[in-house]
Structure 1
Amino acid sequence: MSRRGLKSPLIRTALLTAAGLMALSACGGAEAGPKLELTAALPDEPADGTVLRVGDPATQVALETSGAIDDLDIDIEWANITGGPKTLEAFRADAIDIGSVADIPPLFAHWTGTDVRIVAARETVDPETHPTYELGVAPGADVTSIEDLEGKKIAYSPGQAQGALVLNVLREAGLSQDDVELVEMQSVDDAFSIALGSKQVDVAPLQQALVKTYLAKYERDGATTIESGVRDDAWTLYAPTTVLEDADKAAAIKEYVAAWAEAQLWISEHPDEFAEAFYVDHEGLSPEDAKYVVDAYGQYAVPTSWDDFIARHQVTVDTLVEGQDQEPLDVSTIYDRRFEKAIAAALEGEGSQ
C-alpha cells in the first residue's frame, strides 16, 4: 500500500439502525463545501474539518488490518451499513456520503428518484470458477440444473443484485418469467435461506457467505445448491450527486476510492488475514466458514478502464428494462469517470513502487 501522508485521521464508527439514521445525519452534517460541477476537475484536497461518511465495513476492516488506515489524509466516519436497501435508505436520510454495493442498487436508486453516480468498480479475477452466488435448492425440490427451474417458485428481490441474477439465469436457461413463479421478498440477512429451508420457495440465490451455513442446516434434509451459469461479480461504490457537487466531499471521495482500490488488492493478497479480521471477528463466522467464503470468492480485480465493466452493466440494465418494465437507461450516464482516472493513477503509482 502506498503512503498517503502523516496526518492523523479522525476515525469514527457508527452502528446504524433504521431509527438511528437521522441522528447520524445530524452528527455528520458539517457545513457544505463549495459547489462543484459534475464535469469539473476533482479537487486534490478537502478543506480541514471535512468528514466523509462511509458505509463500507469490509474495506474499513481491510484498511485497519493492513495498517493502511494510518496513511489516509481524510477524516472518515464509518457506518456499519451494507446492502442496497439499507444504503439507499441511508442516502435518503442524509446519513452517509458513499456506499458499497453490487451493480443493481445504483440502478434502482436512479429509477426510484435518487440521483447517484458510480465512483468505483470491482470484479473478480476468475468469475467462472469463483461466482458470488449459487442457487440454493430447497429440500425435496427436483432441481439439478437451471433448465429445471421451469414451474418452480423462485425467491426474487427486484431492487437487489439477486433479482437481476434471477432474470439473467432465466434468460440463460431459455425461460421467461411466465415459466416460473417469482416470490418477491427482500434478501436481508438469512431470509432466503429460511425461505428455502421452510419450503416457501424452491430456489433462491445465495451469497457464498450463506451457502455453507444453508447446507449445514438443511443438507441432511435434501437441500443442495447448483451453479447459476451467469456472471455475477460486479461490485461498486456509489454516491448521491448532491455529495459529488460538494467540492470538499468530492475531494475526500477521490482520496477514498484510491485507498479502496488498494484495499481490494490487499484483500486478494492476504485472504487468511482478511478472513480472520472480517468474516470471523466482524461477521461472526467460524474460521472454517470464513476460509470457505474467501476461497469461494477468489481474488479481486480493480479495472483501471471501465469500458468493459460498463458494457456488461448495460446488458444487465437491458435485462431489467425488459423483465421489470423499467425505463430505458444509458448506464454510462451514471458513472463518474473522473474517479476512474483517480483509481488508475493510484494503482499505476502503486505498481511502480
Structure 2
Amino acid sequence: MKPPPMDRRAFLSAALGAVALGLTGCAQDETPAEALALTAALPAAVPNGTKLVVGDKEHQKAIEFSGAAKGLTFEVEWANLSGGPQTLEAFRARALDIGSVADIPPIHSHWTGIPTKIVASKFRQDPLNHAIYRLGIAPGTSVATLADIRGKKVAYSPGQAQGALVLRVLHKAGLTKQDVELVELPSTGDVYANALASRQVDVAPIGGVQVKRYETKYGKDGATTIAHGLRDDPGHLYAPITVLADPAKAAAIREYVQVWARAWRWREANPDEWIERYYVKDQGLTTEDGRWIVANAGVADIPPTWTEAIARHQETIDLLAKETGNKPLKAEDLYDRRYETVAADALAAGGAR
C-alpha cells in the first residue's frame, strides 16, 4: 500500500533535508530531445549550461580542497546526503543525478524499480588488512569467532552494505538467518555503536572511526570487535539510466569521474591537509582520529578493468537473491562499461596532485 501524500513528503524531507524538496528544479525534470542509447559512445564535450546534482558527500571536499572543482566545465550542485537509502530516495524523487555508495545499493535499486548503472569503481589495495568494517561485540557478549554469532541478536540493514555483510558473514560461518535474531536498524551515524553499547544487539558491523571510538569508550566494559575476514571494500558512483540517456549529463558524468579519480590520489598525496581540513575542521574529529582513519583506509585501487569486480559482485547478488527471495540479476547489467577505463585513464594522464 502506498503511503499518503503527506507521509511521503515528510519522509523525503527527513531523508533528504534540503536536497530533494528544496531544489528549485528537479535533477532529471526534462527528457532530452534526443536520448543517448546506453550502447552509444559517450559524448566528448559537455554542452554549456549542463548541471549535475551530485551526492558524494565526503569526496566532495577532496575535490574542492584539491582545486579540481574550479576546473569543471559544468555546474555542480552538491547534495548533502549519503548512503544507499537516501541516494535511492533522491533518485526516486528525480532530485539527484549521481551518487556514491557501496555495492548493495546498485543491486537494491534494480529490485525496487529504479534501474541504475555503475560508472566508477574503487577498492582497497589491501582489502583484508584494510577492511572497512569490523564486527562490534556488545559488552558482556561472548563472541570470539564467527561461529559464536549463533543465537545472537545481530543488527541488520536491508539494502545497505552492512546488511549484505551480515548475510555474507553468516554464510561464511555456515549459519543461516534462522540461526540468529536479525534486528533491523538503520546503519547511519552512531546507531549501531549505540545499539551495541545499550545491548539492544549483540553484534553489529561498525566501520571507520566508529571502531576505534567503540573500543576506546566501551572496552573497559568488555566491548570488543573482531575481524570478519571478508572483502568489504567496493565503492561506486552510480546513476539512473534516465540520467545516462541525457547526452549532456552523460558527458558531464565522464568528466566528473575523471576528477573523482584524481581527488583520491590527492587525498593520499596530502594526508595531513586532508586530515586537518576534513576530519578535524569539517567533521569535528581529533587529529589522532583522522590519522587512524587514513591509516586504516590504505590506498585506493582504481582498476582499468571491472571484470574481477563484476565477478565478485555476481557472488554477492546470488547470495542476496537466495536470502531475500528477490529475482537474480546479472552483475554485468549493473555496470556501464563505457566508463570502465575513464578513471584509470585520468590517473595515467596525471594531474593527481
**Could you give the per-residue CA deviations for residues 221-272 of structure 1, whole angstroms, max 9, x where no partner exists?**
1111110111100110000110000010001001001111111222223222
**Does 31-40 or 286-295 show the bigger shift?**
31-40
User: 1:314: how far off?
Assistant: 0.8
Letter in 2 for 1:179: D
Q: Which residue pairs with 1:197 in the alignment?
A: 197
Q: Which residue pairs with 1:174 in the alignment?
A: 174
Instruction: Say what the alpha-carbon RMSD is for the aligned residues.
Output: 2.0
Q: Which residue pairs with 1:89 in the alignment?
A: 89
Aligned residues between the structures: 339
1:59 has 2:59 as partner:
yes
Seen in structure 2, the aligned counterparts of structure 1 residues 167 and 352 have a Cα distance that, compared at 3 Å, is closer
The answer to whether the Cα contact below 8 Å between 2:16 and 2:90 also exists between their aligned partners in 1 is: no
User: 1:334: how far off?
Assistant: 1.3
Q: Which residue pairs with 1:278 in the alignment?
A: 278
Q: In structure 2, the residue corresponding to 1:26 is in which secondary structure?
A: coil
Stretches of structure 2 lacking an aligned partner (at least 5 in a row): 1-13
Stretches of structure 1 lacking an aligned partner (at least 5 in a row): 1-14
For 2:44 and 2:294, locate their aligned partners in 1 and report how far apart those are by CA, in whole Å: 35
Q: In structure 1, the residue corresponding to 2:128 is in which secondary structure?
A: coil
Seen in structure 2, the aligned counterparts of structure 1 residues 19 and 272 have a Cα distance that, compared at 3 Å, is closer
The answer to whether the Cα contact below 8 Å between 2:26 and 2:94 also exists between their aligned partners in 1 is: no
Seen in structure 2, the aligned counterparts of structure 1 residues 55 and 324 have a Cα distance that, compared at 3 Å, is same
For 1:223 and 1:46, locate their aligned partners in 2 and report how far apart those are by CA, in whole Å: 52
User: 1:27: how far off?
Assistant: 6.4
Q: Which residue pairs with 2:151 in the alignment?
A: 151
The answer to whether the Cα contact below 8 Å between 2:27 and 2:97 also exists between their aligned partners in 1 is: no
For 1:352 and 1:209, locate their aligned partners in 2 and report how far apart those are by CA, in whole Å: 26
The answer to whether the Cα contact below 8 Å between 2:19 and 2:80 also exists between their aligned partners in 1 is: no
Seen in structure 2, the aligned counterparts of structure 1 residues 46 and 155 have a Cα distance that, compared at 3 Å, is same
The answer to whether the Cα contact below 8 Å between 2:155 and 2:183 also exists between their aligned partners in 1 is: yes
The answer to whether the Cα contact below 8 Å between 1:50 and 1:75 also exists between their aligned partners in 2 is: yes
Seen in structure 2, the aligned counterparts of structure 1 residues 307 and 219 have a Cα distance that, compared at 3 Å, is same
> After superposition, where does 1:237-256 map in structure 2 within 5 Å?
237-256=237-256
Q: Which residue pairs with 1:325 in the alignment?
A: 325
The answer to whether the Cα contact below 8 Å between 1:264 and 1:302 also exists between their aligned partners in 2 is: no
Q: Which residue pairs with 1:111 in the alignment?
A: 111
Letter in 2 for 1:103: D
User: 1:159: how far off?
Assistant: 0.6
For 2:242 and 2:336, locate their aligned partners in 1 and report how far apart those are by CA, in whole Å: 13
The answer to whether the Cα contact below 8 Å between 1:124 and 1:300 also exists between their aligned partners in 2 is: yes
For 1:174 and 1:182, locate their aligned partners in 2 and report how far apart those are by CA, in whole Å: 16
The answer to whether the Cα contact below 8 Å between 2:266 and 2:352 also exists between their aligned partners in 1 is: no
Seen in structure 2, the aligned counterparts of structure 1 residues 61 and 26 have a Cα distance that, compared at 3 Å, is same
> After superposition, where does 1:1-353 map in structure 2 within 5 Å?
17-18=16-17, 20-24=19-23, 26=25, 28=27, 32-33=31-32, 34-350=34-350
Letter in 2 for 1:120: A
Letter in 2 for 1:23: G
For 1:85 and 1:210, locate their aligned partners in 2 and report how far apart those are by CA, in whole Å: 20
The answer to whether the Cα contact below 8 Å between 1:36 and 1:246 also exists between their aligned partners in 2 is: yes
Q: Which residue pairs with 1:8 in the alignment?
A: none
The answer to whether the Cα contact below 8 Å between 1:118 and 1:236 also exists between their aligned partners in 2 is: yes
For 1:141 and 1:66, locate their aligned partners in 2 and report how far apart those are by CA, in whole Å: 45
User: 1:319: how far off?
Assistant: 1.1
**Does 224-233 or 274-283 show the bigger shift?**
274-283
User: 1:351: how far off?
Assistant: 8.6
User: 1:73: how far off?
Assistant: 1.9
Q: Percent identity?
A: 51
For 1:251 and 1:186, locate their aligned partners in 2 and report how far apart those are by CA, in whole Å: 35
User: 1:207: how far off?
Assistant: 1.1
Using structure 2 for the length normalisation, give the TM-score: 0.91
User: 1:345: how far off?
Assistant: 2.8
Q: In structure 2, the residue corresponding to 1:154 is in which secondary structure?
A: strand
Seen in structure 2, the aligned counterparts of structure 1 residues 284 and 297 have a Cα distance that, compared at 3 Å, is same
For 1:62 and 1:19, locate their aligned partners in 2 and report how far apart those are by CA, in whole Å: 22
**Does 120-129 or 21-30 show the bigger shift?**
21-30
Letter in 2 for 1:212: K
User: 1:217: how far off?
Assistant: 2.6
